[in-house]
Amino acid sequence: MKNKLIFVACDASKIKKIKNIIIQTKNNELKITPKFGLQFFYSKNGRKFLEKFKSDFWLDLKINDIPQTALSAIDSLKDLKKCKYITVHANGGFEMLKAVKKQSKKINKDIKVLGVTILTSLNNKSLKEIGHTKNVQQLVLKQAEIIKKSGCDGIVCSPKESKMIRKKFKNLLIITPGIRLPGDSSNDQARVMTPKDALKNKVSGVVMGRSLTKGNIKHNVKKLIDHLNK
């Protein structure tokens, strides 16, 4: 199972809690890579912690701005040597995606740039409310085309759209958030799936948050391993 990409969302502001998540998710059967989002990156000591981090990690900033500002943002991250994945939002458009990809490779040839599509907290009703005329699947497919054309290494999409994306883009790296263990609450996510079902859809990897980090983390990891082995 070590070839499966499993990411744990390290959504906290306190270093102590982050360290606990990282330590408790280490195991001999799955390689679980930490994903740091806005909450930790913007926290008082988060940026400094990542400077000295010794293992691969995912920096989930969902960069979305004019191309030059996005370029400058990427350039400011060049000291984060172990950053293996970074996210940029498809809403920024083709030119921004292409610029971020190019600049990322200049600062770290091993970094993977992932284009983010419609957030998993949104559904068709939400899209209509903010002015979109396409439904979720139509919009995600359109965004995937732009992400692929820009040269980005992969895409972040809901597991609900992953099968459709894989059918069209055979070699694209597809990472899916909105993953819950069987019986867990969906919380603020609108489009969710179990890890096993998502991997059956031929995704490259999954992101898990509260299903791993809420309560007894080691027990949750064991549940995940048992779930994947069934």
| Residue 96 CA from chain centroid, whole number | 19
Secondary structure class of 219 (helix, strand, coil): helix
Place of tokens 């790296």: 173
In degrees, rounded to 5, the angle at the alpha carbon of residue 121 between the alpha carbons of residues 214 and 162 is: 95
Is 170 labeled as catalytic in the residue annotation?
Answer: no
Q: Which of 35, 62, 101, 112 is catalytic?
A: 62
Alpha carbons 3 and 22: distance in angstroms, whole number: 19
Exposure string over 198-212, b if 16+ CB within 10 A, otherwise e: bbebebbbbbbbbbb
Give the Cα separation of 34 and 212 in Å (integer): 12
- Would you call 27 helix, strand, or coil by DSSP? coil
What are the angstrom distances between the C-alpha of 112 and each of 86, 101, 156, 172?
6, 8, 12, 12
Residue 140 to residue 155: CA distance in whole angstroms = 10
Give catalytic residues, as residue numbers. 62
